[in-house]
Structure 1
């Protein structure tokens, strides 16, 4: 048995209904009419993976409560609608001090989505903490 099991069904058109691990439902639409596109989901998934990774990385540097974390994702598509670039504008409520960049780098290593993407698609991350 696999660690992750997804059953995806497309009755017609471009809308796909997926059930993840028999429990979670996800609607994806390549045209972004009935739900987010796969690229939009990937961008959101990347950010939603990176935030907990950042919290774990901060904890390793003894920043146990970094407050609210927000990521604004900007992703560009090429002429074939393939993801060409992803950038994060990251805001952290509490200051991460001099270790800020080390924490960002460690979070990249911890983030499973980051690890799964080809190097050309790894997010370029800018951070502002202590806001």
Structure 2
């Protein structure tokens, strides 16, 4: 039997948490339990997964980002914010370019091109102008 706790996380956290005496809830202020919820393990796994799929189709890579914990939760909010803080500094967002080379950037370094500009880039590529 397990103790169920809703954390609004897109993944399951299975660990040996310290429980209340009734065994119905996890002690959220326990140093042991806080130690289990270490964001570095998630970040290492997430970055490895993104990097291992750099040659995969874009549709596969985008599905990986569903595992990011974005919904707020009083139980794991500090974990969620710590994951976000660490991932913002990493090159984890795949970028599209006019070359076959694939690369990733930091989230803070990205922008989105308007469709009209993509049309210009497509026309430039067709007439073989080197950008």
Q: TM-score, normalised by structure 1?
A: 0.29
Asked which structure has the greater CA Rg, the reply is 2
Q: TM-score, normalised by structure 2?
A: 0.29
More helix as a share of residues: 2
